[in-house]
Amino acid sequence: MNSVAQAQDLLERYGNLEGEALLSPLIRDVFPGRLCLVSSFGAEAALLLHMVSGIDSGLPVVFLDTQKLFPETLAYRDLLVERLGLSNIRTIYPDYTDTSRSDPDGTLWQSNPNACCTIRKVKPLQKALKGFDAWITGRKRYHGGMRTALPLIEASEGRVKINPLASWSAQDIKREFERRGLPAHPLRAQGYFSIGCLPCTAPPASEDDVRSGRWQGREKQECGIHLGDDGKFYKGSQ
Protein backbone atom coordinates (compact mmCIF):
# COMPACT_ATOMS: atom_id res chain seq x y z
CA MET A 1 0.00 0.00 0.00
CA ASN A 2 1.47 3.39 -0.94
CA SER A 3 1.57 6.26 1.53
CA VAL A 4 -1.43 8.09 0.06
CA ALA A 5 -3.66 5.03 0.27
CA GLN A 6 -2.33 4.19 3.71
CA ALA A 7 -2.99 7.70 5.02
CA GLN A 8 -6.56 7.52 3.74
CA ASP A 9 -7.05 4.10 5.30
CA LEU A 10 -5.74 5.34 8.64
CA LEU A 11 -8.03 8.36 8.50
CA GLU A 12 -11.00 6.07 8.02
CA ARG A 13 -9.92 3.86 10.92
CA TYR A 14 -8.64 6.44 13.41
CA GLY A 15 -9.88 9.81 12.15
CA ASN A 16 -12.16 10.26 15.16
CA LEU A 17 -9.23 10.12 17.58
CA GLU A 18 -6.54 12.59 18.60
CA GLY A 19 -3.73 12.97 21.10
CA GLU A 20 -2.74 9.83 22.98
CA ALA A 21 -5.79 7.91 21.78
CA LEU A 22 -4.51 8.29 18.23
CA LEU A 23 -0.83 7.85 19.00
CA SER A 24 -1.14 4.63 20.99
CA PRO A 25 -2.37 2.31 18.20
CA LEU A 26 -0.13 3.95 15.60
CA ILE A 27 3.01 3.53 17.74
CA ARG A 28 2.23 0.08 19.08
CA ASP A 29 0.30 -1.64 16.30
CA VAL A 30 0.47 0.13 12.94
CA PHE A 31 4.09 1.31 12.74
CA PRO A 32 6.06 -0.64 15.39
CA GLY A 33 9.73 0.27 14.99
CA ARG A 34 9.00 2.36 11.88
CA LEU A 35 7.70 5.60 13.38
CA CYS A 36 9.48 8.61 14.90
CA LEU A 37 8.57 11.94 16.45
CA VAL A 38 10.24 15.04 15.03
CA SER A 39 10.40 17.63 17.81
CA SER A 40 11.73 21.18 17.93
CA PHE A 41 11.66 21.20 21.77
CA GLY A 42 9.92 24.53 21.28
CA ALA A 43 7.17 26.37 23.10
CA GLU A 44 4.54 23.61 22.97
CA ALA A 45 6.72 20.56 22.41
CA ALA A 46 6.58 19.20 25.96
CA LEU A 47 2.95 18.14 25.61
CA LEU A 48 3.49 15.81 22.67
CA LEU A 49 6.73 14.52 24.17
CA HIS A 50 4.88 13.74 27.39
CA MET A 51 2.20 11.85 25.48
CA VAL A 52 4.77 9.81 23.60
CA SER A 53 6.82 9.07 26.72
CA GLY A 54 3.77 7.49 28.35
CA ILE A 55 3.27 5.16 25.38
CA ASP A 56 6.87 4.31 24.49
CA SER A 57 9.73 6.23 26.09
CA GLY A 58 12.09 4.59 23.61
CA LEU A 59 10.34 5.92 20.52
CA PRO A 60 12.92 7.69 18.33
CA VAL A 61 12.74 11.47 18.78
CA VAL A 62 14.49 13.39 16.03
CA PHE A 63 15.82 16.79 17.08
CA LEU A 64 17.24 19.12 14.43
CA ASP A 65 20.07 21.15 15.93
CA THR A 66 20.57 23.77 13.24
CA GLN A 67 23.49 25.28 15.19
CA LYS A 68 21.46 28.49 15.21
CA LEU A 69 19.15 27.62 18.10
CA PHE A 70 18.59 29.58 21.29
CA PRO A 71 20.70 28.25 24.18
CA GLU A 72 17.45 28.19 26.14
CA THR A 73 16.06 25.62 23.68
CA LEU A 74 19.05 23.35 24.16
CA ALA A 75 18.71 23.61 27.93
CA TYR A 76 14.97 22.91 27.68
CA ARG A 77 15.68 19.82 25.57
CA ASP A 78 18.00 18.46 28.25
CA LEU A 79 15.45 19.19 30.97
CA LEU A 80 12.62 17.42 29.15
CA VAL A 81 14.73 14.42 28.16
CA GLU A 82 15.64 13.81 31.80
CA ARG A 83 12.23 14.61 33.24
CA LEU A 84 10.25 12.50 30.76
CA GLY A 85 12.72 9.64 30.61
CA LEU A 86 13.14 9.85 26.85
CA SER A 87 15.78 7.31 25.92
CA ASN A 88 16.12 7.59 22.14
CA ILE A 89 16.89 11.19 21.23
CA ARG A 90 18.54 11.51 17.84
CA THR A 91 20.16 14.91 17.52
CA ILE A 92 20.77 15.74 13.86
CA TYR A 93 23.15 18.43 12.61
CA PRO A 94 23.66 20.10 9.23
CA ASP A 95 26.27 18.53 6.98
CA TYR A 96 29.56 20.36 7.43
CA THR A 97 30.18 20.24 3.69
CA ASP A 98 26.94 22.13 3.06
CA THR A 99 27.50 24.78 5.71
CA SER A 100 31.15 25.38 4.84
CA ARG A 101 30.35 25.73 1.16
CA SER A 102 27.05 27.65 1.29
CA ASP A 103 27.23 29.46 4.64
CA PRO A 104 30.90 29.85 5.62
CA ASP A 105 30.33 32.97 7.71
CA GLY A 106 26.99 31.86 9.19
CA THR A 107 24.96 34.74 7.74
CA LEU A 108 23.02 32.94 5.01
CA TRP A 109 19.86 33.33 7.10
CA GLN A 110 20.06 37.04 6.41
CA SER A 111 20.52 37.00 2.63
CA ASN A 112 18.64 33.80 1.74
CA PRO A 113 16.60 32.30 4.59
CA ASN A 114 15.10 29.60 2.38
CA ALA A 115 18.55 28.32 1.44
CA CYS A 116 19.61 28.47 5.08
CA CYS A 117 16.62 26.35 6.13
CA THR A 118 17.36 23.90 3.34
CA ILE A 119 20.90 23.13 4.48
CA ARG A 120 20.22 23.35 8.20
CA LYS A 121 16.83 21.62 8.42
CA VAL A 122 15.39 20.15 5.24
CA LYS A 123 18.39 18.12 4.05
CA PRO A 124 19.36 16.83 7.52
CA LEU A 125 15.77 15.72 8.19
CA GLN A 126 15.55 13.90 4.87
CA LYS A 127 18.54 11.82 5.92
CA ALA A 128 17.22 11.29 9.44
CA LEU A 129 13.87 9.96 8.19
CA LYS A 130 15.41 7.18 6.13
CA GLY A 131 14.16 3.85 7.43
CA PHE A 132 10.92 5.28 8.85
CA ASP A 133 7.52 4.77 7.24
CA ALA A 134 5.83 7.54 9.22
CA TRP A 135 6.57 10.48 11.47
CA ILE A 136 4.75 12.58 14.06
CA THR A 137 4.64 16.37 14.11
CA GLY A 138 3.35 18.89 16.64
CA ARG A 139 1.69 21.23 14.14
CA LYS A 140 -1.72 22.72 14.90
CA ARG A 141 -4.37 24.51 12.84
CA TYR A 142 -4.66 27.42 15.23
CA HIS A 143 -1.14 28.50 14.24
CA GLY A 144 -2.75 29.86 11.10
CA GLY A 145 -1.18 30.57 7.74
CA MET A 146 -0.55 27.43 5.73
CA ARG A 147 -1.50 25.30 8.75
CA THR A 148 -5.16 26.32 8.91
CA ALA A 149 -6.36 23.28 6.95
CA LEU A 150 -3.91 20.83 8.54
CA PRO A 151 -5.18 17.23 8.31
CA LEU A 152 -4.91 14.75 11.15
CA ILE A 153 -3.11 12.23 8.97
CA GLU A 154 -1.56 12.90 5.58
CA ALA A 155 0.84 11.48 3.01
CA SER A 156 3.98 13.43 2.16
CA GLU A 157 7.08 12.45 0.21
CA GLY A 158 6.33 8.74 0.39
CA ARG A 159 5.63 8.63 4.13
CA VAL A 160 2.63 8.98 6.40
CA LYS A 161 2.69 12.10 8.52
CA ILE A 162 0.66 12.26 11.73
CA ASN A 163 -0.50 15.50 13.35
CA PRO A 164 -2.20 14.30 16.56
CA LEU A 165 -2.75 17.80 17.95
CA ALA A 166 -3.99 19.36 14.70
CA SER A 167 -7.34 20.48 16.12
CA TRP A 168 -6.08 21.59 19.54
CA SER A 169 -6.41 25.26 20.48
CA ALA A 170 -4.01 27.42 22.48
CA GLN A 171 -6.38 27.03 25.44
CA ASP A 172 -6.30 23.24 25.09
CA ILE A 173 -2.50 23.28 25.11
CA LYS A 174 -2.31 25.58 28.13
CA ARG A 175 -4.81 23.50 30.09
CA GLU A 176 -2.92 20.27 29.42
CA PHE A 177 0.44 21.81 30.33
CA GLU A 178 -1.03 22.76 33.68
CA ARG A 179 -2.84 19.47 34.25
CA ARG A 180 0.29 17.45 33.50
CA GLY A 181 2.61 19.78 35.41
CA LEU A 182 4.84 20.38 32.41
CA PRO A 183 7.57 23.03 32.56
CA ALA A 184 7.37 25.94 30.14
CA HIS A 185 10.08 26.77 27.64
CA PRO A 186 12.27 29.47 29.27
CA LEU A 187 11.52 31.94 26.45
CA ARG A 188 7.76 31.81 27.05
CA ALA A 189 8.24 34.21 29.95
CA GLN A 190 9.76 36.68 27.47
CA GLY A 191 6.73 36.58 25.19
CA TYR A 192 7.83 33.96 22.65
CA PHE A 193 5.04 31.70 21.39
CA SER A 194 6.73 29.98 18.44
CA ILE A 195 10.43 29.31 18.78
CA GLY A 196 12.82 28.44 15.98
CA CYS A 197 16.34 29.61 15.23
CA LEU A 198 17.65 32.58 17.18
CA PRO A 199 18.32 34.98 14.24
CA CYS A 200 14.88 34.41 12.70
CA THR A 201 12.63 34.35 15.78
CA ALA A 202 11.09 37.22 17.75
CA PRO A 203 8.08 37.54 20.06
CA PRO A 204 4.87 37.79 17.99
CA ALA A 205 3.01 41.05 17.71
CA SER A 206 -0.12 39.31 19.01
CA GLU A 207 -0.98 36.08 20.80
CA ASP A 208 -3.63 35.61 18.12
CA ASP A 209 -0.90 35.15 15.51
CA VAL A 210 1.65 33.02 17.31
CA ARG A 211 3.91 32.46 14.29
CA SER A 212 4.14 36.14 13.35
CA GLY A 213 7.43 36.27 15.22
CA ARG A 214 9.03 33.89 12.73
CA TRP A 215 10.95 35.47 9.83
CA GLN A 216 9.50 38.88 10.61
CA GLY A 217 9.36 41.25 7.66
CA ARG A 218 9.47 38.44 5.12
CA GLU A 219 6.79 36.51 3.27
CA LYS A 220 8.30 33.24 4.51
CA GLN A 221 5.97 31.20 6.76
CA GLU A 222 7.54 27.74 6.91
CA CYS A 223 11.09 26.45 7.20
CA GLY A 224 10.50 23.94 4.43
CA ILE A 225 10.46 20.55 6.18
CA HIS A 226 6.68 20.39 5.62
CA LEU A 227 6.79 21.59 2.01
CA GLY A 228 7.25 19.59 -1.15
CA ASP A 229 9.68 20.52 -3.89
CA ASP A 230 6.92 22.55 -5.54
CA GLY A 231 6.53 24.70 -2.42
CA LYS A 232 3.05 23.40 -1.64
CA PHE A 233 2.19 22.53 1.94
CA TYR A 234 0.73 19.10 1.35
CA LYS A 235 1.55 16.48 -1.22
CA GLY A 236 -0.87 13.59 -1.17
CA SER A 237 -3.79 12.71 1.06
CA GLN A 238 -5.47 15.48 3.01
Task: Give the residue numbers annotated as catalytic, written as ranges.
Answer: 223
Write b or e for each residue in 161-200: b if 16 or more Cβ atoms lie within 10 A of its Cβ, otherwise e: bbbbbbebeeebbeebbeeeebeebbbbeeebbbbbbbeb
How far apart are the C-alpha atoms of 215 and 200, rounded to whole Å?
5
Could you please report the per-residue DSSP string of 206-225? -TTSGGGGBSTTSS----ST
Please, are residues 180 and 47 in contact by the beta-carbon 8 Å criterion?
Answer: yes
